Amino acid sequence: MQKYFVGVDIGSLTVKVVLLNEDLETLGMVMNRAGFSGRDVATRLTEQLLADSGLTTQDVSATVATGYGRVTFPSDREVSEITCQAKGIIHLFPSARTVIDIGGQDSKVIKLSQNGKVADFAMNDKCAAGTGRFLEVMATALEVEWQEIGELVSTSENPTKISSFCTVFAESEIISQVSAGALKADILAGVCESVASRVASMTRRTGLEPDIVFTGGVAHNQGVVNALAKQLGFPLLVSREPVITAALGAALLAREILKA
Amino acid sequence: MAKRNYRPLVSVKALQKTMGRYYAITNYHRYWGKPLRRPLAWVTSGAPVELLRAFKIHSAYPEQYAAIYSARKTTVALCEIAEAAGYSQDLCSYARSNIGGVLRPDLAPLGGMPKPDLLVACNNICGTVLKWYEVLARHFNVPLLVLDTPFLTAELTPQAKDYVLEQLYAMSADLEKITGRSLDEKNLVKQMRRSAEITSLWKETRQYCQASPSPLNAPDFFIHMAPIVVLRGSQEGIDYYRKLKAEVKERVELGQGAVENERIRLVWDNIAIWPQLFTFYKMFADKGACFVSDTYSGGWAIEQAPGTPMESLAATYTEVFLNRSPEFRANQLINLIREYKADGFVMHSNRSCKPYSLVQEVIRRKVMSETGVPGLMIEADMADSRAYAEEPVRNRVQAFLETFE
Amino acid sequence: MSEINEQANSNESLELLLEEATLNGEARLQRYPKKKFFGYFCSYFPEELILAAGLEPLRLLPDGGNSTPAELPAYCCSLARGTLDMEIRGKWQDLAGIGFTHTCDTMQCLSGIWAASGHSKTVDIVPPVMLNTSGASRYYLAEMHTLMKTLMALTQQDIKKEALRNALKLCGYTRKLATELDALRPNLPSPLASALLRAGQVMPRSDYAQALEKCLPTLKEMAAPPYRRVKVLVSGAVVENDSLFAMIEDLGGRVVADDTCTGYRHYSGLTLIGAENPLSDIVQRYSEMPPCPCKNRSLNERLSYLTDLAQQRQAECLIIVIRKYCDPHAWDAVALSKSFRNNGIHTLTLEIEGADVGGQERTRLQAFLESMIEDSGL
């Protein structure tokens, strides 16, 4: 009798759900905007995901919720996104010792011990700098689409420097750079460097040990991947679906609840 | 045509030579310190250095080096090192950059500071120095001597003076143990006399700025105050200020102003914004605004208190302006505005320095109400350029200067 | 019959204390109309002198929200900004005066700002920073004398030796009871202990002592060993509500010891009564109590104290809670967490705006405690 497990990651901007079976096969994964009620979206997405596999909520043996909205979501257990992220990453990359997660509104660095458990972590969820939001604000100011960033940045030969530690001030800084005639590609490269730099500082607090896995929505952005790899001086492993790794971790933990 | 409206001083060359010599001697301390039995102390800017000099101790000033780190644009990198080690970004940027330089001397200008044999801190300037120097004491594993100068809510109390005096005697005993020398009273008297002279010279030099046009502007105060901080008690320091004073006197006689077409006279409050030392004041100079005095470099232009050398040290170092009430400091600013016939004042709300900055708003109100002149508040940091936002600052300065039209 | 009465009294007392802890002194005019309160900041302000002057010490705590009074820049702690804002809103009008102790730079500045822009009468004491240095005790004693004279002028009443000795007795007794409570806390819910300790700083002292004495038996009965809970030592400054402690408890932790200004540290240290001059006894207690980061008794005394405390209570981890812009605690946090880590005790440094904890703190606390649970194989 096959058993099914659900991992739900309710972030403030997006909701991610992963459906896993006992044999560790991912049967489905989905991401959507959280909108007004992340909880409702999560419920809907879960049902949808199950339906796509011909299942209902009755078939689910255990659910673990993580992310900002985990506390109010009906689940068997709610676990911090740090623990879930660690779990998901170590599953995908057994050699991982450091996880860098840059999401829409926060960024974190997680140090893993030999057995894949969380040894230490550093978080930035109080400031937009060093998160996807920073990229978004700057991209909007430069009238560039999020998806274009990576390609544009790859053409840059002379990244500009952004010195402010505040997103609002940085925005006015890049506008000055535009007026001064700097190229969009160069400014964007500077923006990526800035994000990478903020995150790199966090890694110095926890220590950096390879293998290093880069996850979270911003890991889709090649400009930041390259800037970060360069600044850290280490190659980065990036999963094919960086957005759902915490939800995957939650599903894996759901599977473990039953085993316990 | 680029109009230059800032007149540099000829004495700058002499300054560079004097300071250059000091840095060279300090940086090579490891070669001559032991043979000459002259330990190196890291010292806070408000510490009673005359006592240390009497024991032939050579002093290096982390705050001074931090200002240089800023001028050389290395503060941010050094702060990041300290922050990576766990020091909050909200802590004093002098301390963070100093600690960064200690952990990574390869990233610091001049190769960082030479290792101290002892640490001497006086908390008359702030409570942060105690915590900062505790960190250094643990790191270097060297003696930490602290002179605790109680905050003065009004006048110096007899108990505070006795307390500081007693500590000075105890410090003296500690220094005897550390140096293997006994306190040379004559030498102490000599050091105090030299300090008094250098302070006098600096005071008189600054006083020339009461003239119109002012022979000096803010960058001058901040650059030329270096010897009074690090060479207080030395003959080189005295020689330097004699030279500077002469040049400044001559400027006044020739009617030469530091700023061309001086039309607005201002007083500056707080530490300089070191990373933007010239660009910031240029915004003012461009509109004919000159800073004719300031409260920061003026802090070293005070009279020595009367009494025996130790009594004088006790009182002088406890009564420094940063250890006084907002009322005292407001009066200090009011006096400067009146004596120097200023049209306004600018206060640097310096994130790194709480004792200097937290009370600025109440001081600003009092000063504006008593003098009738306008006061501008600028938010920045003395050393960390990440806290300097050019556009907002420019806007405020522009608006302020426009009120004088 | 009397046993039932006792139990009822005990429960009533417990309820009273918990109410007071929630109010933080807000309803003092209604609840204690006959008492005159004197506000103070900091556990180094000598409560004995306030009591001897016939006043009730009231620790000033901010009432929540992110206040930004114009008289202070944004880069100072919410304790200063919040309480100053309350002063401007007239919340402290009934107080006989407000006592400032010069500890951190912010408090030092706040005193002057308050005097310049507030309405209340401010009173200062400037204790020594270097508590073990030459002349420190003598100086502290002189400051106590000055403070005593100021309070006498304020109340227009003499303060006699007997009043001082009675105040010492009351404070000593309160501290003894608080110590008993603190000894129980590994077996009591975290927010309960923190609330009961805070209550003693925001209500009339003798009422507190009486109530605490009455409810200690109930607390002893309630006490149950913290099975499967992660034992936590919390270190910090002022924590004006129990939100953090409740969250720690909620997430499977148990605060077995606290080194916070509004927690046990306020009551710590030995109260001796015996000197010819009672002020000397007072100086001794304040000089020798476990120091906060603003004071120095020796380079590593605070480190040693906390290490010993962790050991005594078998704390498995340390949470350093730092209010944003609190410099002294931010400084100590580095050496503290390094030292504890070297001793195998995990440390989390948690920076909060005020005392309220929300989603961001929950993520960190939860991740931290989860890693502890996994560690201990629970």
Structure-block tokens of residue C21:
């802890």
Classify residue C30: in a domain, yes or no: yes
Classify residue C43: in a domain, yes or no: yes
CB-defined contacts A:B, below 8 A: 27
Q: How many domains does chain B have?
A: 2
Classify residue C298: in a domain, yes or no: no
Show the DSSP H helices in chain A as ranges: 38-52, 81-92, 132-141, 149-154, 167-179, 184-206, 222-232, 245-259
Domains of chain A, start order: 1-93+241-260 (3.30.420.40), 94-238 (3.30.420.40)
Instruction: Using the predicted structure, report yes or no on whether residue C378 has a pLDDT greater than 80.
Output: no
Name the percent of chain A lying above pLDDT 70: 99
Instruction: Using the predicted structure, report yes or no on whether residue B294 has a pLDDT greater than 90.
Output: yes
Note the pLDDT of residue C3. 79
Q: Which residues pair with A163 in a beta bridge?
A: none
Rg value, chain C, Cα: 20
Instruction: Using the predicted structure, report yes or no on whether residue B1 has a pLDDT greater than 50.
Output: no
Do B71 and B176 have their domain in common?
Answer: yes
Contact A137, A171 (CB under 8 A): yes
Note the pLDDT of residue B6. 65
CB-defined contacts A:C, below 8 A: 39
Task: For chain A, give the mean pLDDT.
Answer: 92
Q: What is the CATH number of the domain that holds B142?
A: 3.40.50.11890
Give B156-213 pLDDT, tens digit per residue. 999 999 999 999 999 999 999 999 999 999 999 999 999 999 999 999 999 999 999 9
Do B61 and B103 have their domain in common?
Answer: yes
Residue B57's domain spans which residues? 13-184
Instruction: Using the predicted structure, report yes or no on whether residue B2 has a pLDDT greater than 60.
Output: no
Residue C149's domain spans which residues? 23-160
Of all residues in chain B, the one with the smallest CA distance to C114 is B362
Q: What is the CATH number of the domain that holds C113?
A: 3.40.50.11890
Burial class of residue C323 in the structure, from the number of CB atoms within 10 Å of its CB (0-12 exposed, 13-18 middle, 19+ buried):
buried
Q: Do C363 and A119 touch (CB under 8 A)?
A: no
Note the pLDDT of residue B331. 97
Sign of the CA dihedral with A232 first, then A238, A241, and A247 last: negative
Name the percent of chain A lying above pLDDT 90: 69
Note the pLDDT of residue B162. 98
Note the pLDDT of residue C377. 47
Q: Name the pLDDT band for A36 (thresholds 50, 70, 90).
A: confident
Residues 6+ apart with CB under 8 A from A180: none
Does B110 or B361 have the greater pLDDT score?
A: B361
Give C161-188 pLDDT, tens digit per residue. 999 999 999 999 999 999 999 999 999 9
Contact A164, B386 (CB under 8 A): yes
DSSP structure class, residue A56: -
Do B210 and B314 have their domain in common?
Answer: yes
What phi and psi, each to the nearest 5 degrees, are found at residue C193?
-60, -45
Do B237 and B281 have their domain in common?
Answer: yes
Note the pLDDT of residue A124. 87
Say if C137 is an interface residue toward chain B (CB within 8 Å).
no
Give A57-90 pLDDT, tens digit per residue. 999 999 999 998 999 899 999 999 999 999 999 9
Q: Name the pLDDT band for A164 (thresholds 50, 70, 90).
A: confident
Say if B328 is an interface residue toward chain C (CB within 8 Å).
no
Give B27-71 pLDDT, tens digit per residue. 999 999 999 999 999 999 999 999 999 999 999 999 999 999 999
Residues of B (346-365) whose Cβ lies below 8 Å from A:
none
Do B356 and B376 have their domain in common?
Answer: yes
Q: How many domains does chain C have?
A: 1
How remote is the C-alpha of B393 from its chain's centroid? 23
Q: What average pLDDT does this structure show over C60-67?
A: 88
Contact C258, C235 (CB under 8 A): yes
How remote is the C-alpha of B178 from its chain's centroid? 27
Say if C362 is an interface residue toward chain A (CB within 8 Å).
yes
Q: What average pLDDT does this structure show over C350-371?
A: 94
Classify residue B2: in a domain, yes or no: no
Classify residue C171: in a domain, yes or no: no
Instruction: Give B154 to chain C, closest Cα distance, Å.
Output: 10
Say if B387 is an interface residue toward chain A (CB within 8 Å).
yes
Residues 6+ apart with CB under 8 A from A79: A64, A65, A66, A70, A250, A253, C366, C370
DSSP structure class, residue C130: B
Instruction: Using the predicted structure, report yes or no on whether residue C1 has a pLDDT greater than 80.
Output: no
Task: For chain C, give the mean pLDDT.
Answer: 95
Classify residue C127: in a domain, yes or no: yes
Phi/psi-derived region of residue C59, left when phi > 0, alpha when psi is between -120 and 50, beta in every other case? beta
Q: Which of A258, A174, A245, A251 is nearest to A216 (CA)?
A: A245
Q: What SS3 string covers chain B? A: CCCCCECCCCHHHHHHHHHHHHHHHHHCHHHHCCCCCCCEEEECCCCCHHHHHHCCCEEECHHHHHHHHHHCCCHHHHHHHHHHCCCCCCCCHHHHHHHHHHHCHHHCHHHCCCCCCEEEEECCCCCHHHHHHHHHHHHHCCCEEEECCCCCCCCCCHHHHHHHHHHHHHHHHHHHHHHCCCCCHHHHHHHHHHHHHHHHHHHHHHHHHHCCCCCCCHHHHHHHCHHHHHCCCCHHHHHHHHHHHHHHHHHHHHCCCCECCCCEEEEEECCCCHHHHHHHHHHHHCCCEEEEEECCHHHHCCCCCCCCHHHHHHHHHHCCHHHCCHHHHHHHHHHHHHHCCCCEEEEEEECCCHHHHCCHHHHHHHHHHHHCCCEEEEEECCCCHHHCCHHHHHHHHHHHHHCCC
Sign of the CA dihedral with B211 first, then B214, B218, and B222 last: negative
Classify residue C334: in a domain, yes or no: no
How are strands ordered across the β-sheet holding A107-112? A118-124, A107-112, A98-102, A212-215, A236-238
What residues of chain B lie within 8 A of the CB of A173, using their CB?
Answer: 390
Domain-terminating residue out of B184, B210, B236? B184
Alpha carbons B336 and B331: distance in angstroms, whole number: 8
Q: Name the pLDDT band for C374 (thresholds 50, 70, 90).
A: low
| C243: three-class secondary structure by DSSP | helix
Q: What average pLDDT does this structure show over C102-121?
A: 94
Instruction: Using the predicted structure, report yes or no on whether residue C227 has a pLDDT greater than 50.
Output: yes
What residues of chain C lie within 8 A of the CB of A119, using their CB?
Answer: 371
Instruction: Give A96 to chain B, closest Cα distance, Å.
Output: 22
Classify residue C186: in a domain, yes or no: no
Residues 6+ apart with CB under 8 A from C41: C59, C60, C79, C83, C98, C99, C100, C101, C107, C110
Q: Do B76 and A172 touch (CB under 8 A)?
A: no
Domain-terminating residue out of B162, B184, B206? B184
DSSP structure class, residue A165: S
Contact B187, B179 (CB under 8 A): no
Name the percent of chain B lying above pLDDT 90: 93
Residue A8, CA distances (Å) to A35, A138, B9, B137, C16 in order? 16, 30, 68, 50, 43
Classify residue B4: in a domain, yes or no: no
Alpha carbons C192 and C291: distance in angstroms, whole number: 25
Q: Do A125 and C360 touch (CB under 8 A)?
A: yes
Note the pLDDT of residue B4. 52
Residue B125, CA distances (Å) to A140, B46, B148, B156, C110 in order? 46, 6, 11, 16, 16
Alpha carbons C29 and B138: distance in angstroms, whole number: 49
Do B168 and B196 have their domain in common?
Answer: no
Give C304-340 pLDDT, tens digit per residue. 999 999 999 999 999 999 999 999 999 999 999 999 9
Q: Do B160 and C139 touch (CB under 8 A)?
A: yes
Structure-block tokens of residue C107:
């408090």
Note the pLDDT of residue B3. 46
Of all residues in chain B, the one with the smallest CA distance to A205 is B84
Instruction: Give A137 to chain B, closest Cα distance, Å.
Output: 18
Contact C331, C301 (CB under 8 A): no
Nearest to B80 among A166, A173, A201 (CB): A201
Q: Do B386 and A176 touch (CB under 8 A)?
A: no
How are strands ordered across the β-sheet holding B344-350? B289-294, B264-269, B344-350, B375-380
Q: Which of C198, C231, C235 is nearest to C322 (CA)?
A: C235
Instruction: For C13-34, give one letter per residue: b (16+ CB within 10 A) or e.
Output: bbebbbebbeebbeebeebeee
Instruction: Give B52 to chain C, closest Cα distance, Å.
Output: 19
Domain-terminating residue out of B139, B157, B184? B184
Say if C370 is an interface residue toward chain A (CB within 8 Å).
yes
Do B67 and B121 have their domain in common?
Answer: yes
Q: Which of B185, B170, B97, B147 is nearest to B323 (CA)?
A: B147
Classify residue B6: in a domain, yes or no: no
Max distance between CA atoms of chain C, in angstroms, equals 64
Alpha carbons C15 and C132: distance in angstroms, whole number: 41
Q: Name the pLDDT band for C376 (thresholds 50, 70, 90).
A: low
Instruction: Using the predicted structure, report yes or no on whether residue B125 has a pLDDT greater than 50.
Output: yes
Note the pLDDT of residue A260. 59
Say if A161 is an interface residue toward chain B (CB within 8 Å).
no
Q: Do C367 and A117 touch (CB under 8 A)?
A: no
Burial class of residue C261 in the structure, from the number of CB atoms within 10 Å of its CB (0-12 exposed, 13-18 middle, 19+ buried):
buried
Say if A115 is an interface residue toward chain B (CB within 8 Å).
no
Classify residue C91: in a domain, yes or no: yes
Q: What is the CATH number of the domain that holds B292?
A: 3.40.50.11900
Instruction: Using the predicted structure, report yes or no on whether residue C147 has a pLDDT greater than 90.
Output: yes
